A and B are shown apart, each in its own frame.
Chain A
Amino acid sequence: MENMVNVYFFGKKYSVPGDLTIMTAMEYAGYTLTRGCGCRHGFCGACATIYRIKGKNELKTCLACQTQVQEGMYVASIPFFPTDKRTYEIEGLKADQRVMMELYPEIYACIGCNACSKACTQSLNVMQYIAYAQRGELEKCAEESFDCVGCGCCSVRCPAGISHPMVGLLARRLTGKYIAPKSQHLEKRVAEIKEGAYDGLIEAIMQKPITEMEELYNHRDIEK
């Protein structure tokens, strides 16, 4: 038999192959997952999990799909966490410091404990991006929070009740929409298409027989 390890799902002991992830180990143990399972590849944040290794006091957070089981792991998944997202109309907002003060004033209650960064399953510097948000440095907040998958482990640990992923998300939307420079070539092409500049050309290519299309395709020039 392969190398087996003992893990505890919600306190109950199971013996599972040691090369599995927490997620596949739960399935090996017999769980049919509905909550706590999404993309299974580390992008969606559905499988936020807390664990502690038997005999150690440190409480750790992770994504169940991206973390290998270990001997003596006590595991509890977080099927849902009530993050506090404020609703707003993106069209009416201004990308400045005030927007954070109005929508997420609790960020100013941060006590600097850094528990959020320690809990981050993506190893992001969460406290730093909250600091950027406090100062109205939205672009920096957006960059620093960019890889956030919204699992919510930071918010679970925050003594100030901050919903960090929502703060990062707001900063990114404001950056994408208002702060990043406009793409002139994009605006131009959208206008050209709207004016019908390509209508005739697209009609023409749609009507071409397959043999001619094969010829065109196989001999098209490819940008270096």
Chain B
Amino acid sequence: MFTESMLESIRKVEATRAQRMGMEPRRMSAQEKDELLKAYHPDYRPDGFKEIKIGPNKGQKAPCELTDLLHSNSRLLQEHIDLNKVDYDVDVLVIGGGGAGASAAIEANQAGANVMIVTKLRIGDANTMMAEGGIQAADKENDSPVQHYLDAFGGGHFAARPELLRRLVMEAPDAIRWLNELGVMFDKDADGTMITTHGGGTSRKRMHACKDYSGAEIMRTLRDEVINRKIPVVEFTSAVELIKDDRGQVAGAVLLNMETGDYLVARAKTVIIATGGAGRLHYQHFPTSNHYGATADGLILGYRAGAPLLYQDTIQYHPTGVAYPSQIFGALVTEKVRSLGAMLVNRDGEAFMHPLETRDVSAASIIRECSTRGEGVETPLGTGVWLDTPMIELLHGEGTIEKRIPAMLRMYLNYDIDMRKQPILVYPTLHYQNGGLEIGGDGFTKAIPNLLVAGEAVGGIHGRNRLMGNSLLDIIVFGRNAGKAAAARAADVNLGKMNLDHIYSYAEELKQADAVHEGVSPLLLPNYARHERKEK
């Protein structure tokens, strides 16, 4: 239910709709985009960042909330963990039960390794489950992995690591084939041709989808396969610190039972960090589209053990988060809504930008519209712009919204907003961690032997901005690769004596640098209970 002032603005949107239907808004030039980003993108706000005082990225900047966690001590500092009492002993330990972790576990199991997943919530409680729009792969006649590379490299501001991006685009079609063989129901024509659309910044229509439940369909299939293969999944159990051996190799992790508070020891010949993103740290007080457990735990574990971060200062704000109603504030409105033709329109009914610019440019453009230009629509929690969803039905016929984006329709109908008839209000939401732990082309960290990283916890695959549909792709491609590589490596690993020396030396370094932040890290769960909240 919209307020009276919102309804008044909707009438202006309706008044310009017919005229807008016939035109395509101009795309910005490279220079315009550059200036826009510098002036309005949150990555360029100096007060959102703090310097990291110790460790491999000492002297570099990270979001304040992440820096605080990097400057916090281990919760094990005051505990006495008996590393000789081993509760789990495996070849491959996968930390995280999202798309990357599940893919890794399936491939490691397929390769014959003894693999186990540990996850702080349930398997599938992950950003993968919430990815709506789709997954990219250059598998059509007019497309190629090279074109995909160019789109992703340019969209990421020419900062992606070439050896990582190469793997992403070259293994993309096989990732789709693998998922399809597992039974993922992709949208297809009657003859089997994949129904593909554009995403922001793509030059070919290569977005494959499963309605707007793309990630959910992939995740529930992967989860089912993990269970079918009887791969052990230890749920409601967090990894709180990596364990190393006396040769400096990773040797497992200390685990925390989230319900009983017990600590457990997992010994492993190889460890895959697949812990996902950081949206629940609410950088710069943004709402987030991320799941409850997205608290950057893997970054903290890896960094404390000596693994460097890459591009930890670049964050993706999804341009279209829900701005209204408040109950779903910050939830994702899939980019597919724009792929299907809905325009971004300001409060006076003007289409102020091309709807398919890259995410960083679109987010900055909406922020400009709502701030200095004063063209935003006021809401109880801030401002927003219109996403003119009725255009979709006009462009593609009645029933398109129900068929292609049923989750969006359902989410809004819960609050008596029918997006087929009325536009919806959106504003950028904290969506994705572009940066993360640095890995080589083989999936291993360069600093710690036998430690791998996959999925959103990796930095460098996408550069400084990620295109829609390349994240579902990267969790599959890099998850599968990590599983295979870890299983192969585990055959040759001999572990020495296990220790937690690194957490003590890290504490000492923090103290020397006078950088100790109060509290402990990793965070594990956000502080949402009223008595835990810091007043903002």
Interface residues of chain A, those whose CB is within 8 Å of chain B, are 19-21, 24, 27-35, 37-44, 46, 66-68, 85, 87-90, 122-123, 142, 146-147, 149-150, 169, 172-177, 180-187, 189-190, 193-194, 198, 201-202, 205-206, 210, 213-214, 216-218, 220-223
B228–A90 contact, CB under 8 A? yes
Chain B residues closer than 8 Å to A184, beta-carbon distance: 192-193
B213 CB–A CB distance under 8 Å? yes
Which residue of B has the minimal Cβ distance to A123? B410
B173 touches A205 (CB 8 A): no
| B residues less than 8 Å from A29 (CB atoms) | 530
A184 to B177, CA, bound (A): 11
- Beta-carbon contact of A41 and B225 below 8 Å: no
Q: A37-B292, A183-B192, A214-B154 are in contact. Are A201 and B144 (CB under 8 A)?
A: yes
Of all chain B residues, which has the CB nearest A221? B203
Hey, which chain A residues are within 8 Å of B217, CB to CB?
146, 172
- 8 sampled A-B residue pairs with Cβ under 8 A: A147-B211, A173-B221, A176-B182, A183-B139, A185-B194, A198-B144, A198-B145, A206-B163
* B149 / chain A contacts, CB cutoff of 8 Å: 202, 205-206
Decide: A223 and B292 in contact? CB cutoff 8 A: no
Tell me the bound Cα distance from A40 to B129 in angstroms: 11
**B326 at interface by CB-CB < 8 Å:** yes
Binds A, one of B39-47, B183-191, B369-377: B183-191
Which residues of chain B from 205 to 223 have any CB-CB distance to chain A below 8 Å in the complex?
A: 205, 211, 213, 215-217, 220-221
In the docked arrangement, what's the CA distance between A151 and B170, Å? 36
Known: A181-B190, A202-B169. 4 other contacts (CB 8 A): A30-B531, A89-B228, A183-B192, A186-B194
Contacts A34-B525, A146-B185 given; does A41 touch B180 at CB 8 Å: no
Taking each of B146, B169, B204, B220, which has the highest tally of chain A beta carbons within 10 Å of its own beta carbon?
B220
Least distance between A46 CB and chain B CB atoms (Å): 6
Inter-chain contact B205/A176, CB cutoff 8 Å: no
Q: Which residues of A contact B141 (CB under 8 A)?
A: 185
Give chain B residues whose Cβ lies under 8 Å from the Cβ of A175. 183, 185
Contacts of B530 in A (CB 8 A): 27-30
CB-based nearest A residue for B413:
A123
Q: Are B125 and A180 in contact (CB under 8 A)?
A: no
A216 CB contacts on chain B under 8 angstroms? 150, 154
Instruction: Kindly provide the distance from the CB of B361 to the nearest chain A CB, expressed in whole angstroms.
Output: 13
Residue contact B182 to A202, C-beta cutoff 8 Å: no
> Are B170 and A193 within 8 A (Cβ)?
yes
Note all chain A residues with C-beta closer than 8 A to B125. Answer: 38-39, 44, 46
- A90 CB → nearest B CB, Å: 6
Q: Which residues of A contact B419 (CB under 8 A)?
A: none
Question: How far does the Cβ of A149 sit from chain B's closest Cβ, in whole Å?
Answer: 7
Q: A90–B129 Cα gap in the complex (Å)? A: 21
Chain B contacts for A20, CB-based, 8 A: 327
In the assembled complex, the CB of A166 is this many whole angstroms from the nearest CB of chain B, namely 8
**Contact status of A19 and B327, CB under 8 A, knowing A32-B525, A198-B170:** yes
In the assembled complex, which residues on chain A have CB atoms less than 8 Å from the CB atom of B121? 34, 37-38, 46
Say yes or no: A213-B154 contact (C-beta < 8 A), given A30-B529, A90-B225: yes
